[in-house]
């Protein structure tokens, strides 16, 4: 008996099959997609294997030449049409994603889904202005151009599924590449809706494909495929190492964003109310944010007052159903993730850490916002990414000590700095190892800016022209001085 290919999630119909070559494609097996809100099975999702991976890459390869040859203005028009479709279905996308990954509905409505549309509009417009000024070498003209590279495999995470996927999809399509998207198995639903939106916008068949499944079953078939020209991945360091090994045989270029263990430095000259607000913001999305400043480093002379204000402000956060407009912190995404978070905290407490707030599970998949003190710099809780609502607090006396603590992990994705001294801000930011540094603010991201991590937080940069540098083969054409044809 054939299974029902659609599921209804939050009142929205979602196709649970793959999207390959402009058609819906089913698989012999499925996997359950479970809502973190209440543990309900939302849908049975087509479970792809190497067969579907090969079919998607073949479809992308077939579609690539015509898409690469499509004039930039037409590519840009289609990306704007996709953005229009996102805006028209914004409420549906917000509802489905909230049910699927447990993030706040109000955030999806007001920030996340509008940003999805903006991702397409930004790269459509950037494409039309993409240029490098010609320059001369001994009378010869140098002209830089960006040639589409080919089929691109994009593997995306579960914590902000559609926004993080479209940070990759939009520039890849704008560059003239065809795309195979593999969304995270814990949150695949809005990727399927995006396939519908792209098709309705008129994107040619095979230019955008979606294959669903477990990375262990479908990932290697995608990343090792000889016809894939670019791979972009956001996720964990161990998975990135497997992807890099898989891609090595074909020397396929990689862009890797691998999370971090970012510091938030608070100096005594900072506006403490602002510093506390920035610190409490790190609980956003139940702590499931790769950029989060989870290591609070506070100057010793203000640490007690900072902690007092932090506890008061954190106590006002409401944890509960993410569909409720009043909720500040929703559930963590999966029982395995909750076990991982709790394991980190239990081991830290057993090793002598003290929970100022939290430190325990709540009902369901909810974990109490947690702040741990009395932690050693070389401890697991300070060195490893927890990816949950868990912060640590350490103190420092000197500026040099603050910088040394901030840089003393294997990661380097981001850092946040609170200070009232512009000269100190300049000194400290120059010494921090991070792809992004925020001073007296947090999570301000302009798509014109480079984004990526240092050390084991990633490889490469995307954003603005950096995205086109990755998704294209950058070419320099050198032309001899005028009159060269006469020399035969």
The confidence score (pLDDT) of residue 481 equals 87
In a shared domain, residues 349 and 457: no
| 361 touches 368 (CB < 8 A) | yes
Q: Which segments within 301-367 are labelled E, that is strand?
A: 354-357
Average pLDDT, the chain: 96
Among candidates 158, 75, 48, which has minimal Cα distance to 471? 75
Position 447 in a domain: no
Q: Rounded mean pLDDT of 366-376?
A: 98
* CATH value at residue 281: 3.40.309.10
Predicted TM-score (pTM) of the model is: 0.95
Structure tokens at 353: 């850490």
113 and 232 co-located in one domain: yes
Q: Are residues 137 and 205 in the same domain?
A: yes
Check pLDDT > 50 for residue 443. yes
**With bands split at pLDDT 50, 70 and 90, how would you rate the model's confidence at 487?**
very low
Is residue 373 within 8 Å of 311, Cβ to Cβ?
Answer: no
Backbone phi, psi, residue 241, to 5°: -65, -40
Q: What pLDDT sits at residue 484?
A: 54
410 with 464, same domain: the answer is: no
Q: Is 80 exceeded by the pLDDT of residue 397?
A: yes
Residues 249 and 271 in one domain: no
Q: Is the pLDDT of residue 483 over 90?
A: no
- pLDDT for the residue numbered 2: 65
CA distances, 179 to each of 84, 203, 205, 309 (Å): 20, 12, 11, 48
Q: Are residues 189 and 61 in the same domain?
A: yes
Cα gap 181→163, rounded to integer Å? 13
* Beta-strand relationship, 152-155 and 230-234: parallel
Nearest-angstrom CA–CA distance, 249 and 224: 7
Say which residue the tokens 């070419």 belong to: 475
434 shares a domain with 466: no
Residue 5 has pLDDT above 90, yes or no: yes
> Above 70 in pLDDT, residue 486?
no
Assign residue 220 the CATH number of its domain. Answer: 3.40.605.10
Residue range 61-108, pLDDT digits in tens: 999 999 999 999 999 999 999 999 999 999 999 999 999 999 999 999
Place of tokens 């054939």: 2
- Is residue 327 one of the residues assigned to a domain? yes
164 is a domain residue:
yes
Q: State pLDDT tens for residues 318-351.
A: 999 999 999 999 999 999 999 999 999 999 999 9
- Does 193 fall in a domain? yes
User: Are 236 and 337 found together in one domain?
Assistant: no
Total structural domains within the chain: 2
Write down the pLDDT at residue 488.
40
- For residue 487, being part of any structural domain is answered with no
**Residue 481 is assigned to a structural domain of this protein:** no
Does residue 362 sit within a domain? yes
Average pLDDT over residues 392-410: 98
Do 57 and 107 have their domain in common?
yes
| Judgement on whether residues 71 and 167 belong to the same structural domain of the protein | yes
DSSP output for 25-93: E--S-EEEEE-TTT--EEEEEE---HHHHHHHHHHHHHHHHHHHHS-HHHHHHHHHHHHHHHHHTHHHH
Q: Are residues 183 and 84 in the same domain?
A: yes
Q: Per-residue pLDDT for 412 more than 60?
A: yes
* Percentage, residues of the chain above pLDDT 70: 98
pLDDT at 482: 75
Give residue-wise pLDDT tens across range 115-134: 999 999 999 999 999 999 99
Q: Rounded distance, CA 26 to CA 8, Å?
A: 17
For range 399-411, the mean pLDDT:
98
In this predicted model, what pLDDT tens digit does every residue of 199-249 receive, in sequence order?
Answer: 999 999 999 999 999 998 999 999 999 999 999 999 999 999 999 999 999
Is residue 108 in some structural domain? Answer: yes
Q: What is the pLDDT of residue 4?
A: 84
Active site residues: 257, 290
Same domain, 270 and 251: no
Domain extent at residue 415: 263-439
End-to-end CA distance of the chain: 72
């Amino acid at each position: 008996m054939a299974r029902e290919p659609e599921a209804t999630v939050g009142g929205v119909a979602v196709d649970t099959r793959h999207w390959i070559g402009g058609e819906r494609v089913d698989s012999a097996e499925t996997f359950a997609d479970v809502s973190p809100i209440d543990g309900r099975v939302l849908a049975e999702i087509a479970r792809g294997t190497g067969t579907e991976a090969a079919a998607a890459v073949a479809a992308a390869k077939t579609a690539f030449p015509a898409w690469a040859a499509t004039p930039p203005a037409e590519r840009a028009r289609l990306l704007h049409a996709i953005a229009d479709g996102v805006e028209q279905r914004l409420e549906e996308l917000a509802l489905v994603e909230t049910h699927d990954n447990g993030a706040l509905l109000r955030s999806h409505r007001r920030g996340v889904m509008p940003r999805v549309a903006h991702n397409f509009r930004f790269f459509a417009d950037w494409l039309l202005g993409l240029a490098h000024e010609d320059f001369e070498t001994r009378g010869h003209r140098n002209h830089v151009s960006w040639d589409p590279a080919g089929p691109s495999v994009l593997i995306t995470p579960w914590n902000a599924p559609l926004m993080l996927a479209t940070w990759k999809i939009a520039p890849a399509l704008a560059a003239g590449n065809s795309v195979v998207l593999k969304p995270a198995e814990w949150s695949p639903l809005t990727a399927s809706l995006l396939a519908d939106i792209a098709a309705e916008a008129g994107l040619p068949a095979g230019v955008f494909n979606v294959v669903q499944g477990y990375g262990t079953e479908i990932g290697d078939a995608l990343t090792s495929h000889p016809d894939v020209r670019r791979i972009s991945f956001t996720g964990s360091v161990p998975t990135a190492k497997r992807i890099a090994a898989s891609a090595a045989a074909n020397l396929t270029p990689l862009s890797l964003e691998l999370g971090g263990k970012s510091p938030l430095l608070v100096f005594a000259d900072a506006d403490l109310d602002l510093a506390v607000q920035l610190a409490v913001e790190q609980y956003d999305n139940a702590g499931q944010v790769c950029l989060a400043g989870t290591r609070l480093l506070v100057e010793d002379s203000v640490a007690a007052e900072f902690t007092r204000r932090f506890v008061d402000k954190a106590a006002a956060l409401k944890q509960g159903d993410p569909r409720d407009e009043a909720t500040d912190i929703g559930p963590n995404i999966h029982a395995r993730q909750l076990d991982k978070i709790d394991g980190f905290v239990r081991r830290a407490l057993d090793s002598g850490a003290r929970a100022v707030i939290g430190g325990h599970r709540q009902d369901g998949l909810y974990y109490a916002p947690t702040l741990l003190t009395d932690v050693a710099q070389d401890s697991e809780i300070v060195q490893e990414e927890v990816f949950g609502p868990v912060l640590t607090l350490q103190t420092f006396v000197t500026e040099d000590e603050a910088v040394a603590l901030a840089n003393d992990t294997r990661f380097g994705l981001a850092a946040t700095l609170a200070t009232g001294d512009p000269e100190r801000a300049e000194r400290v930011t120059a010494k921090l190892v991070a792809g992004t540094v925020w001073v007296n603010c947090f999570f301000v991201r302009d798509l014109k800016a480079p984004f990526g991590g240092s050390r084991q937080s990633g490889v490469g940069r995307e954003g603005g022209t950096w995205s086109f540098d990755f998704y294209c083969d950058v070419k320099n054409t050198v032309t001899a001085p005028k009159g060269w044809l006469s020399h035969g």
